Amino acid sequence: MNPRKRTLVLATAVAALAITAPAQAGATTSPRTGFEQTGGARWTSQPEEQQLLATVDKASDRVSVSRIGTTKQGRPVQLVRIGEHRTASTVLLICSQHGDEPSGREACLTKIRDLAYAKDEATRRFLARTTLLVVPTANPDGRAADTRGNSDGIDINRDHLALQTAEARAMAAVVRDRKPDVIYDLHEYGATPKYYDKDLFDLWPRNLNTAPAVHDEAETLSEGYVRPAANASGYTTGTYGIWTDPVTGDPIKQTAGDGQERILRNMSGVKHALGLLIESRVDPGTPAEEADPALNNRRRRDSQLTALGGLFRFTGERLGKIEAATSAARVAGFRDTGPIYVGGADNDPAEPAEIIQDPPCGYRLTADQFAAYKDELALHGITVRRTGDGAYVSLRQSERALVALLLDARAPYHLTEGAPDTSC
């Protein structure tokens, strides 16, 4: 088979796994989202989502739905687990952290339903090796109000360090307890024509505390799998946060994508998971989409689904490399060596003041500090030893860099200033 034909066959297989038609999964019994029922004319409502999840939970042994949190307005934050047994890898999808970015949520609901009912061999192989976890609506109050933030106006995707919101706390607990190898975060963006208007943008963790092998695998996920899958289906792709010259394609301006640890994409890397942010374009890209909002909505959702196909192929083909990268990163902190970065990014070298070249042995907290932040430390999976006058947090643990980001006065978003211990 010549290389071009092999590429087309592979793209077709990826697309089949990405968008499993309800007819293939048993159209007479499988439920449809509100989005599907209206041909994309409106987004799936919360009651429709709850009904769909309850139906697939009851109908499929490979699906379980649990509540992992409750919003301020009383809505459930739910986790869907899709898999038949313990597997070698775990992938976590976080859908619509921003309530006014609904296409990722629609892609997640569609994928949950399709994987629940599908009987094809490709799906069986995928689920035999990978457990898929999905938070279908990470910001239920924001989705109900069609707002970026939650009901308190807080941007959840700037709260993955401080954990002030019920929504971010729920996600942190999932990451701590399930230890996903990949965290895939679905969003949308507004275009700036000519310079910044691809169908899909994506970006890996830029935070410099991300282990090199984890960083490289995340970049491979983007450039070797997600973008090619989208391109094969006719969608344009690029790097999130980078404006490019419309003639040469050269980068001319960076508008986002820094190393902030409080963003989920970056926190994923700090916590030793392959993170990837994916953003579909909200704005119509053609006159036909301009004239028909439902057509534009379908393109927004379908582009996300094709990108998911690239993610699933990546986990199938690079399982060993993924496992090796995340496993090595999780034990590296126990060696307690090397600098810790409180600034910079993979495309922006840290300044000397942003590098803790000789980190302390740990940080001492007063009794009041420990009482104020013990819950957040626990949600992050930080090991803490109680002492007579407070608590001691050693750097010799898996989340070594995160300890400094939380407790060192030099870290820009630190929770509290622990007293450095240099007695080791």
**What does the alpha-carbon distance between residue 176 and residue 19 come to, in Å, rounded to a whole number?**
30
Mean pLDDT of the 173-202 span: 97
User: CB-based contacts of 154: which residues, under 8 Å, 6+ apart?
Assistant: 164, 165
Chain segment 72-124, per-residue pLDDT in tens? 999 999 999 999 888 989 999 999 999 999 999 999 999 999 999 999 999 99
Q: What is the pLDDT of residue 6?
A: 37
- Please say if the pLDDT value at position 393 is more than 70: yes
Signed CA dihedral, 240, 243, 244, 246: sign only: positive
Please work out, in degrees rounded to the nearest 5, the angle formed at the alpha carbon of residue 15 by the alpha carbons of 11 and 18: 140
- Average pLDDT, stretch 282-300? 97
φ/ψ of residue 139, rounded to 5: -135, 75
Name the band, by pLDDT with cuts 50, 70 and 90, for residue 12.
very low
At residue 92's C-alpha, the angle toward residues 88 and 96, to 5°, is 170
pLDDT band for 422, please (50, 70, 90 cuts): very high
Q: Tell me: the pLDDT tens digits for 196-220?
A: 999 999 999 999 999 999 999 999 9
Residue predicted with more confidence, 288 or 3: 288
Please state the pTM of the whole predicted model: 0.94
If phi > 0 it is left, if psi is from -120 to 50 it is alpha, else beta; for residue 379 that is alpha
- Overall average pLDDT of the 372-396 stretch: 97
Residue with tokens 């626990």: 378
Predicted confidence at residue 9, as pLDDT, reads: 38
In the numeric block, the tokens 């949520």 are attached to 105
Beta strands in 163-319 (DSSP E): 182-189, 200-203, 237-239, 242-244, 251-254, 274-281
Rounded distance, CA 40 to CA 292, Å?
Answer: 10
Task: Give the pLDDT of residue 301.
Answer: 98
Least confident of 18-27, 234-243, 286-295, 361-370: 18-27
Closest by CA position to 99, among listed 50, 150, 49, 165: 150
CA distances for 212 relative to 63, 219, 326, angstroms: 34, 10, 10
Distance (Å, whole) CA 191 – CA 299: 15
Q: Taking 80 as the threshold, does the pLDDT of residue 256 lie above it? A: yes
Alpha-carbon distance of 69 to 328, in angstroms, equals 31
If we measure between CA atoms, which residue out of 362, 401, 321, 332 comes closest to residue 161? 401
Average confidence (pLDDT) over 176-184: 98
Contact 407, 413 (CB under 8 A): no
DSSP at 366: E
Closest CA to 346 of 217, 157, 237, 216: 216
Q: Which residue has the tokens 């002030």?
A: 164
| Terminal C-alpha separation, the chain | 62
pLDDT digits (tens, 9 = 90+) for 152-168: 999 999 999 999 999 99
- Count CB atoms within 10 A of the CB of residue 2: 7
Give percent of the chain above pLDDT 90: 90
Least confident of 12-26, 107-121, 248-262: 12-26
Q: Is the pLDDT of residue 8 over 80?
A: no
Q: Supply the pLDDT for residue 18.
A: 47
142 contacts 99 by C-beta, under 8 angstroms: yes
Task: Give me the chain's average pLDDT, please.
Answer: 93
Residues 6 or more apart from 375 whose CB is under 8 A from it?
none
Buried b vs exposed e over 284-307: b needs ≥16 C-beta within 10 Å? bbeeebeebeebbbbbbbbbbbbb
Q: Which two tokens stand for residue 309?
A: 């196909």
Asked whether the predicted pLDDT for residue 25 surpasses 70, the reply is no
Q: Are 275 and 264 in contact (CB under 8 A)?
A: yes
Q: Using CB atoms within 10 A of its CB, is residue 100 exposed (0-12), middle (13-18) or buried (19+)?
A: middle
